[in-house]
Structure 1
Amino acid sequence: MDSTTTPARPLKFTGTDSYVATDDLTVAVNAAVTLERPLLVKGEPGTGKTELARQVSDALGLEMIEWHIKSTTKAQQGLYEYDAVSRLRDSQLGDAKVHDVANYIKRGKLWQAFEREEKCVLLIDEIDKADIEFPNDLLQELDRMEFHVYETGQTVKARQRPIVIITSNNEKELPDAFLRRCFFHYIRFPDMDTMRAIVEVHFPGLKPALLTAALTQFYELRETSGLKKKPSTSEVLDWLKLLLAEDLTAEDLKQNGTSALPRLHGALLKNEQDVHLFERLAFMARGQR
């Protein structure tokens, strides 16, 4: 039996030791793998969307290809780019390689994923940063798993269908036609118990009293009305790292004087508007005493 007819081993994601995946998230990953559809993951920045792709890659033992999207990124760049300027320059210099146009084709991330002999994980990160037409421009390629290279006349087909994970921070709405072709999952912000499990992965053996005091302050801060940017999971981990470095205790966090701002708040609050908000709250609290 040749390699084209050998049944592929079933792929099933169950999380990893370094990534706390909720049950609904693992169901979403495995559903997308089974359906062979892109997994579209939305959620607040810092909730582990990009890291999910890396953990799926590690857990399943698959190579990972990352395509990080910017506001200037075009869909064509994911397929290939033709460097006509370099070819013109080389023709003026009499370089013999100008006779083969393939020398001036730069393979994009989709092409790299399609040409892999083994299945891989393809991350298309922060797709909502690009132009609104970007997702639609990739519909056919992600659906059919092939595209045409006009300069060389070749058709590039995926040897193995990659596991495609697409992340979005919800900065803009994605087209309906694109959404229909994806399996969707929204990563909700972790509740207290899930956050404890996440912290345990990063800071095993953290004193329960300190963890409880820190998370209590953190969630109270997140739920403060009028907050412009709520701190994320990655930011609370940074904050806890600082608390440990400063050797602060649960009592230190509770005994914060008249300030409404938590200790080392620069790890949690990332703009002056939110800092001023807590300063006003502290001023109002002092006025009521």
Structure 2
Amino acid sequence: MPTSNSGPIFSGTDAYVATDDLKIAVNAAVTLGRPLLVKGEPGTGKTVLAQEIARALDAPLITWGIKSTTKAHQGLYEYDAVTRLRDSQLGDPRVADIANYIRCGKLWDAFESPERPVLLIDEIDKADIEFPNDLLHELDRMEFFVHETGQTVKAAVRPVVIITSNNEKELPDAFLRRCFFHYIRFPDEATMRAIVAVHFPNIKERLLSQALTAFYALREAPGLKKRPSTSELLDWLKLLVSDDVDPEALRSKEGGLSTPFLGALLKNEQDVQLVERVAFLSRAGR
């Protein structure tokens, strides 16, 4: 991994094609010591980015997957008062030390890591609107106070923090000000070819060309509820290669969309019906 006076430099990996603007964003966030907030369509590699940064830096990856019920304090720690009460009723000597009932959260794990980790806070927009603001102090100062034990947990070394969002809801301005922001644009064909080459280095050029033409035409079909993503393209290509599909089977027929294994690309019945209807109308008009 190359380094500079300002710290590690991320330049992508053999398994992850990073565009120049993404490399700049990662390195800027590391230099500034700010969380990198990454947005983009589902399936554009936001989560994988954190995994590959950790691999490139040879750093431990700590992942905090956010759900609609997740609360900010769970990332710090949780006090298990119920178990302590039960143990006290059973005469368990562990109740004398309240620390036995403190469960460390992902931020605690990251702060106590002896080497700089990559902390992934994945899909932050799934949580309550106040969730990001509840982490402002901890992410700013890289420390928090454990009230039950009187202990201050402070990061030995500032982690690389990657935060992903699918734009399901707007994030608070105060939180956004503390992040370095990057939007991962959907890959153009040249970038997509580079991504495909990582996963299918021996794919036939004719098959790839026809597949990409069909794929981008499908993404542009009007009325789609969920456009297929990069990860879905890779699944589709795996099926095409495995089944040795004739590239001609993917050729658009006078505006229709010819797509074997359509279920690898489209994920709801409305979109499947829409594409099938377009294909039917195209055939009927010939």
Find the counterpart in structure 1 of residue 195 from structure 2.
Answer: 198
Aligned residue for 1:124? 121
1:81–1:106 CA contact under 8 A, matched in 2: yes
Secondary structure of the residue aligned to 1:52 is helix
| Equivalent position amino acid for 2:212 in 1 | L
Q: How many corresponding residue pairs?
A: 283
Q: Is the 8 A contact 1:136 1:178 kept in 2?
A: yes
Take 2:199 and 2:258, find their aligned partners in 1: how far apart are those partners? 25
Match of 2:107 in 1: 110
Change over 3 Å in CA distance of 1:258–1:122 after alignment to 2: closer
Give the alignment of 1:212-227 within 5 angstroms: 212-227=209-224
Q: Is 237-246 or 7-16 further displaced after alignment?
A: 7-16
2:29 corresponds to 1:32: yes
User: Structure 1 residue 18: deviation in Å?
Assistant: 0.6
Report the AA paired with residue 102 of structure 1. Answer: A
* C-alpha distance in structure 2 between counterparts of 1:40 and 1:255, whole Å: 38
Q: Does 1:283 align with 2:280?
A: yes
Q: Secondary structure at the match of 1:206?
A: coil
TM-score between the two structures when normalised by the length of structure 1: 0.95
Match of 2:92 among 91, 95, 110: 95
The change in CA–CA distance for 1:262 and 1:232 in structure 2 (over 3 A counts) is same
1:106: how far off?
0.1
Aligned amino acid, residue 123 of structure 1: L
What residue in structure 2 maps to residue 3 of structure 1?
none
SS of corresponding position for 2:8:
coil
Secondary structure, aligned partner of 1:138: helix
Is the contact made by 1:57 and 1:63 (CA closer than 8 Å) also made in structure 2? yes
Write the distance in 2 (CA, Å) between the matches of 1:247 and 1:34. Answer: 47
Question: 2:72 is matched with which residue?
Answer: 75
Partners of 1:261 and 1:244 lie apart in 2 by 16
In 1, Cα distance between the equivalents of 2:257 and 2:210? 14
Aligned residue in 2 for 1:179? 176
The CA distance in 2 between the partners of 1:55 and 1:285, in whole Å, is: 43
Indicate the residue corresponding to 2:39 in structure 1: 42
| 1:160 matched residue in structure 2 | 157
Task: Give 1:148's match in structure 2, choosing from 136, 145, 148.
Answer: 145
Over the matched positions of the two proteins, sequence identity in percent amounts to 71
Quick one: distance in 2 between partners of 1:249 and 1:43?
Answer: 33
The answer for the alignment partner of 2:261 in structure 1 is 264
Deviations 1:38-83 (A, max 9, x none): 0000000000000000000000111110000011100000000000
Closer, same or farther in 2 for the Cα pair 1:227/1:258, shift >3 Å? Answer: closer
Structure 1 spans left out of the alignment, 5+ residues: 1-6
Q: Which amino acid aligns with 1:229?
A: K
Distance 2:115 2:48 in 1: 22
With structure 2 as the length reference, what TM-score do the two structures score?
0.96
Q: State the shift of 1:245 in Å.
A: 1.1
Partner of 2:237: 240
**Match for 1:75: what amino acid?**
A
Runs of 4+ residues deviating >4 angstroms: 255-259
Q: Look up the SS of the partner of 2:17 in the other structure.
A: coil
SS of 1:152's partner is coil
Please report how far the alpha carbon of residue 205 of structure 1 lies from its aligned counterpart in structure 2 after TM superposition. 1.7
Aligned partners of 2:50 and 2:120 also within 8 Å: yes
